[in-house]
Amino acid sequence: MIIVTTILLFLFIVYAALLVYYRLSWQSIPNLISENVSADLNISISVIIPARNEEKNITALLNSLRGQSYPASLFEVIVVDDYSTDRTADWVKNCGISNVRLISLKDILGVTAINSYKKKAIEVGISTSKGALIVTTDADCMVPEKWLEKISAAYNQTNASLLVMPVAIKYKNRFIEIFQALDFMTLQGITGAAVHKKLHSMCNGANLAYTRKAFEEVDGFKEIDHIASGDDMLLMHKMVMRRMKVCYLKSEDVIVSTEAVGSVKEFFQQRIRWASKADKYQDKTLFPVLLMVYLFNIALLFIGIIAIFVNPIISYLVAGVLILKTLTELLFLYPVADFFKMKKLLWYFPLMQPLHIIYTVIAGWLGKFGSYQWKERKVQ
């Protein structure tokens, strides 16, 4: 037990030091867009949207794109229908927006089965697009009015090959939605800090922009197209390996909001899908961090179980580490929550600690050794 306790304390110290580093890194992210730099009105943009069974969400997204401050003549929207069995395609066809095009993945692949339909959808969308700048989002998202304008201005300012941008979960008062919003906000804070410090290859395909030239130079999704997930982070890593310029655009004007999943089962399926690509990363800095965090949660859960059923005395140790863990995470999260205008959610954070530890352990294990269901498809 002494050995296990020592390991737990060591992992906590490393974990706490890492979170303090992430906090300082997040706070040091500069404003990429100077006041005297405007959008580059000479650059054409192609917005690529893979969509599968999104009839409930796609119209809201298209309407938010209709309302962009960026000139409609300078961007196109390409929705790639991924074998939808609902009315997604009909809603796109009838949206009445002149710069929106619909492509059917079924017309291209037929009955051919592949493992990564989303990567294929993005690839097909890019191959038929005209923009020099590729911007991706998901069909269940909403984009702010100045989204494309600010993206264009950031490229004008930085000449980056890839821009990583913030995403937020839309939530109401349901427990599962608040839990997701907090968990996702944590990931977003780490993403911004890691990208700015060039520490890890982290991003989210719901809000990502890269040049066509960069996509072509790394051969798109070649050599990662057999992996079901990873259309964002694995692609980013390929660009990082080519020493392409990557920047994090920390601006409230580009925060994309996405729908929370509706149930605990869907939440686990989503997180298992994310965890399934952990050992596919070739980023030598990211996997050790993921492993350390996972082992820390396992150790805390294991000793917690022993405290309950075997040795109640060590419950004081578990409670102490849990409190310190919560305080350290809140220290990191406060400036992130301030940016996302979600500080009021931090009151719920301590209450969700035990559930967060349990879900991390379960999702991490099933991501490696299990399978998951996503968009009515079972993936091994």
Write the pLDDT tens digit of every residue in 233-260: 999 999 999 999 999 999 999 999 998 8
pLDDT at residue 173, rounded to an integer: 86
pLDDT digits (tens, 9 = 90+) for 4-25: 788 889 999 999 999 999 999 9
Give mean pLDDT, residues 56-79: 96
- Report whether pLDDT(380) > 60: no
How many domains would you assign to the chain? 2
pLDDT band at 39 (very low <50, low <70, confident <90, very high): low
**Do residue 42 and residue 15 come from a single domain?**
no
The backbone torsions φ and ψ at residue 172, rounded to the nearest 5 degrees and listed phi first, read -120, -140
> Does some domain include residue 83?
yes
Residue 184 inside a domain? The answer is no
Looking at the structure, tell me whether residues 10 and 131 fall in a common domain.
no
Residue 110 has pLDDT above 80, yes or no: yes
Do residues 147 and 167 make contact, with C-beta atoms less than 8 angstroms apart? no
**In-domain check, residue 272:** no
Residue 242 sits in the same domain as residue 313? no
Q: 233 and 136, same structural domain?
A: yes
Residues 22 and 116 in one domain: no
The region of weakest confidence among 28-32, 50-54, 306-310 is 306-310
CB 145 within 8 A of CB 69: yes
Q: What's the predicted TM-score (pTM) here?
A: 0.91
Token pair in block for residue 122: 């993005």
Average pLDDT in the 215-244 region?
91
The yes-or-no verdict on residue 374 having pLDDT over 60 is: no
Together in a domain, 212 and 101: yes
Residue 306, amino acid:
I
* pLDDT recorded at residue 10: 93
139 or 380, greater pLDDT: 139
What pLDDT score does 211 carry?
97
In this prediction, residues 94-99 reach a mean pLDDT of 92
Tell whether 344 is covered by a domain: yes
Q: How large is the average pLDDT for residues 189-209?
A: 95
What is the CB neighbour count within 10 angstroms for residue 222? 9
Same domain, 75 and 132: yes
Query: 38 and 22, same structural domain?
Result: no
Average pLDDT, the chain: 90
The share of the chain scoring above pLDDT 70, in percent, equals 92
- Is residue 257 one of the residues assigned to a domain? no
CATH at residue 48: 3.90.550.10
Same-domain status, 217 and 71? yes
Looking at the structure, tell me whether residues 225 and 327 fall in a common domain: no
Q: Which domain holds residue 290?
A: 2-26+283-370
* 183 lies in some domain: no
Task: Let me know whether 296 and 312 are in one domain.
Answer: yes
Contact 104, 88 (CB under 8 A): no
Is the pLDDT higher at 379 or at 91? Answer: 91
Q: Both 87 and 212 in a single domain?
A: yes
